Amino acid sequence: MNYRDMGELAAERGGLAAWLHDRPQMPYLLPFFAYVLIMAPGALGHFAGLDWTALWRTYHPLIYPAESLAAALLLWALWPFYTRIRWTHLRIGALVGLLGTFVWVGTEYLCQHVGLTSRPNPTEFYIPDVMLDARWKIWGYLCVRVVGPTLVVPVMEELFFRDFLMRVLIRGSHFEDVPVGAWTWLSFLGMCILFGMNHGREWPEGVLYGAMMGVLLIRTKSLGSCIVAHAVTNWTLYLYVIYRGDWQFM
């Protein structure tokens, strides 16, 4: 029984499963927006009498696990409603992912050098050595901060951007009729731009990395390869951050 058959079987039971089956976009949207919205208040600054940025800095060790856990639970619960993932070309994905780390860091420093982006204020970083008062808290935070981007974020973002969004930009609400890996210039460029915007200040490398993942999917037709690539990039990037103390990338 494939994933779609499982989704149809769940839908026959009625209730929420039937509602999700009739709205195939929702399984892709819910984990992504749950993840984003939990972190979003930190960008409000001073609003409604509260300093949301200060609250974000204070409670970040709790906020980040909360958003990762929320996305992971939603992905697990909604798994029967996704298009079946092909787990092929994984070695190519791993190599592309390793290259992606160099591309991400190099692009950021190049953009800062030419003035396309400015170097962020270090006071905006969350530096666990400064913010946390015990070694076990620091290492506990770093473990969670690496595990989330390595195991949860790649699945969530590849499903949303490469699986869902690229097909939506081809056939809209009938995206399920489009094979994974199909593309048009609108779907490819639109996905790259939106992926870049999703990464805020790091939008140039976001656009470039989105293009790398898009090409990988188009050539391999394997979303699994993209997930592995994304996981390798995030894992090696965060190991670099911890080793070098280059907190602007975390």
Q: Report the distance separating Cα 149 and Cα 250, nearest Å.
A: 10
What pLDDT, on a 0 to 100 scale, did the predictor assign at position 1?
Answer: 46
What pLDDT, on a 0 to 100 scale, did the predictor assign at position 9?
Answer: 56
Q: Report the distance separating Cα 221 and Cα 223, nearest Å.
A: 7
- Is the pTM value of this prediction over 0.85? yes
What pLDDT, on a 0 to 100 scale, did the predictor assign at position 5?
Answer: 56
3-state secondary structure of 47: strand
Closest CA relative to residue 25, chosen from 65, 78, 104, 72: 78
What pLDDT, on a 0 to 100 scale, did the predictor assign at position 129?
Answer: 86
Angle at which helix 15-22 crosses helix 3-11, to 10 degrees, equals 130
Torsion over CA of 15, 69, 71 and 23, rounded to 10 degrees? 0
Q: Report the distance separating Cα 41 and Cα 25, nearest Å.
A: 25
Q: Report the distance separating Cα 19 and Cα 39, nearest Å.
A: 27
Adjacent-strand bridge partners of 46: 51
Contacts of 167 (CB under 8 A, 6+ apart): 175, 176, 178, 180, 182, 187
DSSP state at residue 245:
T
pLDDT tens sequence for the chain (250 residues): 444 555 555 555 567 777 887 889 999 999 999 999 988 777 767 777 777 777 777 888 888 899 999 999 999 999 999 999 999 999 999 999 999 999 999 999 999 999 888 888 877 788 888 888 889 999 999 999 999 999 999 999 999 999 999 999 999 989 999 999 999 999 999 999 999 999 988 999 999 999 999 999 999 999 999 999 999 999 999 999 999 999 999 8
Q: Report the distance separating Cα 232 and Cα 97, nearest Å.
A: 5
Q: Report the distance separating Cα 158 and Cα 164, nearest Å.
A: 8
Adjacent-strand bridge partners of 51: 46
